[in-house]
Structure formats: structure tokens, C-alpha cells
């Protein structure tokens, strides 16, 4: 009897754990770029499966995208993981997000164009559906 | 493959189109001034800044002239068309973002919805001009294949741009067709009757000067 209760108990505990962890895990998976600055986006959101993208493109070094700069020089061996691009790349004029948009476009398109892989045209990233 | 074609259309072809456009414009204007100097020197004597500007301004205000009031529909369509055909490409968000990416320059842009309406106006106006050419007997008599070709040349970047922007079927191909047709249109301006874009101030200014300074009359 006690074995059975213990078994049932651990089963319930496991299931609870799974239920608790699953949504948390799903939340961590980034599937699109959604910078908080674009409150009323003009274009459809950009699908970007963060981990799958970086694995497929062979990008192990986080600082390729999450970079840091000092005196206008890119710092090797340090990164800005956990920060949004807009924390550093917002234009002085808060109503005009063109500088931030440009940072995204230069980084994403720049690499795709030079490697001749990945989307480069507006509608390939900002897909309407 | 797609990347190579895209890079070509996005880079060297844009330069080529703008160089032909600017070079062609300078060439056509110098050629015109040279020809006038050779054959019709009085043009320079008659030219009068005040009367020229007066006439140019008058012809840029809708319904300011007698002829415009006589043809209200044509006048309305022509003004909406010319405004849209110039303003939409210059103030389109997507174009400005591309300029920003290339040269770090940007300026005010139209909301996408407004640009959509203006693009539809350009295409509808081209349809109107086409119908006019086909249906009015006296206009039809004067119409040649080159007139229809010119209308197609102007309409195609607007149709393909609208199509691509709304991501209707065939996206990547239509997007590149849009880029190519826009570049062809730009390069063709100096060598077709679209040159009136630059000749307009000269022809209008001359008419205004002659009517104002010589005949003491209005030319509108």
C-alpha cells in the first residue's frame, strides 16, 4: 500500500512539474523578433526561431549579434546577451525609430547578403498571412 | 542565384539607372539650350523671369486656367496623377528604409495606407489615360504605339510595387520585377517624352515670357 501511494504521489509530482515547466520552456523559446519599442508596428512581425536559426547558420558566438562596443570598437570576448537592441540603438528622437529599424536591417540583411543565404527582401521577413 | 540577382538590382543597377537619369537630363537640357542658341536666339531675349514664373505657377494650380476649367475631369485626374506619381516613390517608407540602410540618410515618409491609395490613383489614372486614348476619336487619331508603351512603362513599377507590398502570389519574382521596372523607368525619363518633367519649366516659362512681355496677354 505505501509503495502504491508513494508511486502515485511521485507520478502526480512529476506531472505537476511537467505542467509547470512546459509553458515556461515555451516562453523562453524566441520565435519572432518583437522589440518592445515598436508599439504600433507598420509591418507584420518577423519570424525568427532564435536557437534553430543560429544552429542552422552556424552562429555559436553570441556576440556576433549581441555585441558590445567601446570607443567605437567592437569588443571581442564580451557580449550584451539579455539586452534588447533598442536599449542601445534608439534614435535621440523618440518618435522616429528609423535608427533602430536600420540596426536590425543592417545586421540581419548584411549577413544574409554577404553569405548569400537567408531572406533579404522585405516580404521574406515581414510575412503577411 | 536569387541573392545574386537581388544584389545586382539593389546595388549596381540602381547606380546605373540614376547615372543615366542624371546624365541624360544634363545632356538633353544642354542640347536644347544649344539648339535654341543656334536657331532661335530671340528666345533668350524674350525670356523674362517674372512672366516665366507667373506662368509656371499658374499652370501648377488646379483649375487656374481657362482650358483646365473646360476639361474638369481631365484636369482633376492629371493633377492627382502627377502628385501621386512623384510623391509616392519619394516618400515611401520602404524606399526611405533602403536609402537609410545604404547611405544613413532619411526623411519624412507617408503612412503606408496613404501610399497605397496614391499608388492606386496612379494605376487608375493610367487606365483613364488609356481609355481616353482609345475612346475619344480626336485623341485616338493622334495616338501611336509609343503612347501606349509609355503608359505601360509608367504603370508597371506601380502595379508591381503594389503587388509585392501586399505579398500577392509570386512575391520574390514580382519584387524583383518591381525593382527592374523602376530602374528602367528612371533611366528612360530623359530619352522619352517623360522629359517634359524637366522641359516643362522652359517651355512654360518661354510661353509665359512671350505672352507677358511681347503680346501683353495671359497664357492661361
Task: Residue B52: name the closest of B217, B201, B215 by CA.
Answer: B201
pLDDT value at position B169? 95
Q: Which domains does chain A have, with CATH numbers?
A: 28-125 (3.90.10.10)
Q: Nearest residue on chain B to A120, judged by CA atoms?
A: B3
- The ipTM, to two decimals, is 0.84
Nearest residue, CB atoms, A98 vs list B106, B172, B175: B106
State the pLDDT at residue A5: 67
Confidence band, pLDDT 50/70/90 cuts, at residue B217:
confident
The predicted structure's pLDDT at residue B107 = 93
Q: Say what the pLDDT of residue B70 is.
A: 87
Angle (CA) A83 A85 A87, round 5°: 70
pLDDT tens digits for range B67-82: 888 888 999 999 999 9
Nearest-CA distance B8 → chain A (Å): 11
pLDDT above 90: residue B140: yes
User: Which of B1, B92, B106 is the best substitution to test chain A (most A C-beta atoms within 10 A)?
Assistant: B106
Per-residue confidence (pLDDT) for residue B65, from 0 to 100: 83
Residues B55-73: what's their mean pLDDT? 85
A106 → chain B, closest CA residue: B101
Domains of chain B, start order: 2-206 (1.20.950)
Distance, in angstroms, between B156 CA and closest chain A CA? 19
pLDDT of residue A120: 96
Chain A nearest-CA residue for B103:
A102
For chain A, what is the mean pLDDT?
84
pLDDT at residue B188 tops 90: yes
Confidence of residue A21 (pLDDT cuts 50, 70, 90): low
At a CB cut-off of 8 Å and minimum separation 6, what does A91 contact?
A: A97, A98, A99, A100
Query: pLDDT-derived band of residue B95, with 50, 70 and 90 as boundaries?
Result: very high
pLDDT at A19 over 60: no
Q: What is the dihedral sign for C-alpha A90, B100, B113, A47?
A: negative
The structure's pTM equals: 0.89
Tell me what pLDDT residue B161 has.
98
Rg (C-alpha) for chain A, rounded Å, is: 21
Confidence of residue B4 (pLDDT cuts 50, 70, 90): very high
* Phi, psi at B61, each rounded to 5°: -95, 125
Q: For chain B, which residues lie within 8 Å of any Cβ of chain A, measuring from their own Cβ?
A: 3-4, 6-7, 10, 93-94, 96-97, 100-101, 104, 106, 112, 164-167, 171-172, 175
Contact present, A64 and A53 (Cβ < 8 Å): no
Amino acid at each position: 500500500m505505501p509503495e502504491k501511494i508513494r508511486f502515485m504521489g511521485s507520478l502526480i509530482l512529476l506531472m505537476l512539474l511537467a505542467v509547470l515547466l512546459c509553458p515556461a520552456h515555451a516562453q523562453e523559446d524566441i520565435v519572432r523578433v518583437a522589440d518592445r519599442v515598436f508599439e504600433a508596428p507598420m509591418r507584420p512581425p518577423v519570424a525568427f526561431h532564435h536557437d534553430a536559426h543560429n544552429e542552422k547558420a552556424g552562429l555559436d558566438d553570441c556576440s556576433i549579434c549581441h555585441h558590445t562596443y567601446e570607443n567605437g570598437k567592437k569588443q571581442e570576448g564580451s557580449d550584451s546577451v539579455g539586452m534588447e537592441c533598442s536599449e542601445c540603438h534608439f534614435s535621440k528622437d523618440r518618435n522616429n525609430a528609423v535608427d533602430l529599424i536600420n540596426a536590425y536591417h543592417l545586421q540581419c540583411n548584411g549577413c544574409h547578403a554577404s553569405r548569400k543565404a537567408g531572406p533579404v527582401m522585405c516580404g521574406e521577413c515581414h510575412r503577411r498571412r | 542565384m536569387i541573392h545574386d540577382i537581388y544584389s545586382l538590382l539593389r546595388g549596381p543597377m540602381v547606380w546605373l539607372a540614376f547615372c543615366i537619369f542624371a546624365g541624360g537630363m544634363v545632356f538633353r537640357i544642354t542640347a536644347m539650350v544649344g539648339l535654341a542658341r543656334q536657331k532661335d536666339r530671340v528666345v533668350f531675349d524674350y525670356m523674362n523671369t517674372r512672366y516665366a514664373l507667373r506662368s509656371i505657377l499658374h499652370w501648377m494650380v488646379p483649375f487656374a486656367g481657362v482650358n483646365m476649367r473646360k476639361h474638369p475631369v481631365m484636369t482633376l485626374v492629371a493633377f492627382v496623377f502627377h502628385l501621386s506619381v512623384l510623391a509616392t516613390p519619394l516618400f515611401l517608407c520602404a524606399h526611405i528604409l533602403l536609402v537609410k540602410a545604404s547611405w544613413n540618410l532619411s526623411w519624412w515618409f507617408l503612412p503606408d495606407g496613404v501610399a497605397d491609395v496614391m499608388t492606386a490613383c496612379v494605376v487608375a489614372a493610367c487606365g483613364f489615360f488609356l481609355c481616353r486614348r482609345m475612346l475619344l476619336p480626336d485623341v485616338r487619331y493622334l495616338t501611336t504605339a509609343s503612347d501606349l508603351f509609355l503608359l505601360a512603362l509608367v504603370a508597371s513599377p506601380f502595379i508591381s510595387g503594389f503587388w509585392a507590398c501586399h505579398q500577392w502570389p509570386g512575391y520574390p519574382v514580382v519584387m524583383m520585377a518591381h525593382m527592374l521596372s523602376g530602374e528602367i523607368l528612371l533611366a528612360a525619363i530623359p530619352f522619352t517624352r517623360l522629359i517634359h518633367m524637366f522641359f516643362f519649366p522652359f517651355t512654360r516659362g518661354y510661353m509665359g515670357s512671350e505672352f507677358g512681355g511681347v503680346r501683353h496677354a495671359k497664357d492661361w
